């Protein structure tokens, strides 16, 4: 489940650095959500619509395709935040008709926004009022408007270093697949983005037990499934110490992995990638809390990509192998990669 500010194919960029390909080659069946790139007609679509029509409908589609196979759900950035909300809501309601989630994996996803890092510089009541007025007029937040804020978060690399290198030195970087993906911007519906900033970032309703799904509050303490939690050392969007705060919100088993790199390059960390390293350990269910700095000091460094550690964790939490479902078993809208990812 990608964030709605990401095109999903960041995890399937090229054959050599595709996390999807890596998993499929190791006998996992992978499904991915592709969000529609909204315009004015979607101004009234909210966060809970993304939960119900996005995550829960996707679970139902997976169940139609695979039968009763358990699901290992993974979410990236705000997609991981919404996945945590959905998993906690399912744990709260214990609905027998819901897809049987086996585990939850969160890539660079915050659940406590009390310290959102440098993005917090752009989020206060006056900024929210300005964005509300802008989005109300358009019905959405444009991708270029959002991209400017993220460039300022990482201005040394994304603005100044690039300007010096290209303008002063005349050195133009060779285009990469990650650069092409980064230029493929998305739009956000008025209501959803407003609720995201207000309820999650500004008021921190999820961590403080005020966020509602189905008219009832959601507590992350109801997230009792094994969790694989990934942070990245140089993340300006989801600082790893903020990601780590999930340890204080649930007593579930959490396997926390901190990898080198930033919000995107740290996740797209294929085997053979130079200068990659990570730290990894598991907190057993209801074990005592260890603060992030103590955890960092006492957890040894491993060299290489973190992908094998996650894949081995998935395998260890999986049941026996099953026959993979046939392609086209669900509701087929169009040929891959679908229409949404191609929308301008």
Mind spelling out the 3-state secondary structure of the chain?
CCCCCCCHHHHHCCHHHCHHHHHHCCCCCCCCCCCCCCCHHHCCCCHHHHHHHHHHHHHHHHHHHHCCCCEEEEEECHHHHHHHHHHHHHHHHCCCCCCCEEEEEEECCCCCCCCCHHHHHHCCHHHHHHHHHHHHHHCEECHHHHHHHHHHHCHHHHHHHHHHHHHHCCCCCCCCHHHHHHCCCCCEEHHHHHHHHHHHHHCCCCCCCCCEECCEECCHHHCCCCEEEEEECCCCCCCHHHHHHHHHCCCCCEEEEEECCCCCCCCCCCCCCCCCEEEEEEECCCCCCCCHHHHHHHCCEEECCCHHHHHHHHHHCCCCCCCCCCCCCCCCCCCCCCCHHHCC
The closest alpha carbon to 209, from 220, 195, 197, 198, belongs to 220
Residues annotated catalytic, as ranges: 77
The closest alpha carbon to 143, from 181, 176, 117, belongs to 181
How much is the pTM?
0.89
pLDDT for 29 equals 93
pLDDT for 96 equals 46
pLDDT for 262 equals 93
Name 273's Cβ contacts closer than 8 Å, sequence gap at least 6.
17, 305
Alpha carbons 101 and 277: distance in angstroms, whole number:
30
Alpha carbons 71 and 103: distance in angstroms, whole number:
7
CA dihedral 273, 278, 284, 288 (to 10 degrees): -160
- β-bridge partners, 73: 104
Q: What is the CA radius of gyration of the chain?
A: 20
Question: Counting beta carbons within 10 angstroms of the beta carbon of residue 74, is it exposed (0 to 12), middle (13 to 18) or buried (19 or more)?
Answer: buried
- β-bridge partners, 257: 230, 280
Alpha carbons 233 and 329: distance in angstroms, whole number:
40
Q: Are 294 and 260 in contact (CB under 8 A)?
A: no
Alpha carbons 213 and 90: distance in angstroms, whole number:
10
Tell me the CATH architecture of domain 8-342: 3-Layer(aba) Sandwich (3.40)
Alpha carbons 320 and 334: distance in angstroms, whole number:
32
Q: Is the peptide bond before 337 cis (omega within 30 degrees of 0)?
A: yes
The closest alpha carbon to 337, from 18, 5, 12, belongs to 12
pLDDT means per 10 residues, the chain with 344 residues, are: 90 95 95 91 95 93 86 96 95 68 96 81 68 78 63 48 66 78 86 91 94 94 95 94 97 97 94 94 94 97 98 92 80 83 81
């Amino acid at each position: 489940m990608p964030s709605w500010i990401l095109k999903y194919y960041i995890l399937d960029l090229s054959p050599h650095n595709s996390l999807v390909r890596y998993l499929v080659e190791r006998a996992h069946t992978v499904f991915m959500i592709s969000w529609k790139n909204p315009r004015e007609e979607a101004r009234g679509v909210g966060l809970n619509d993304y939960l119900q029509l996005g995550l829960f409908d996707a679970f139902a589609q997976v169940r139609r395709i695979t039968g009763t196979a358990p699901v290992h759900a993974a979410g990236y950035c705000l997609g991981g935040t919404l996945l945590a909300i959905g998993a906690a809501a399912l744990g709260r309601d214990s609905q027998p008709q819901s897809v049987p989630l086996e585990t939850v994996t969160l890539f660079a996803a915050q659940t406590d926004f009390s310290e959102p890092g440098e993005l917090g510089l752009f989020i206060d009541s006056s900024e929210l009022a300005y964005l509300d007025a802008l989005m109300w007029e358009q019905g959405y937040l444009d991708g270029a408007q959002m991209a400017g804020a993220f460039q300022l978060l990482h201005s040394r690399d994304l603005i100044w270093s690039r300007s010096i290198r290209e303008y002063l030195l005349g050195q133009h970087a060779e285009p990469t697949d990650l650069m092409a993906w980064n230029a493929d911007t998305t739009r956000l519906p008025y209501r959803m983005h407003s609720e995201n900033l207000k309820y999650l970032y500004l008021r921190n309703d999820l961590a403080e037990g005020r966020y509602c799904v189905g008219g009832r509050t959601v507590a992350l303490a109801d997230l009792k499934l094994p969790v694989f939690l990934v942070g990245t050392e140089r993340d300006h969007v989801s600082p790893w110490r903020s990601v780590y705060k999930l340890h204080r919100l649930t007593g579930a088993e959490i396997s926390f992995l901190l990898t080198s790199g930033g919000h995107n390059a740290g996740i797209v960390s294929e085997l053979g990638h130079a200068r990659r390293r990570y730290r990894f350990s598991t907190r057993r269910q209801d074990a005592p809390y260890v603060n992030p700095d103590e955890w960092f000091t006492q957890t040894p460094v491993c060299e290489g990509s973190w992908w094998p550690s996650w894949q081995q964790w998935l395998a260890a939490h999986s049941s026996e192998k099953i026959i993979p479902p046939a392609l086209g078993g669900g509701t087929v809208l169009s040929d891959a990669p679908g229409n949404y990812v191609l929308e301008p």
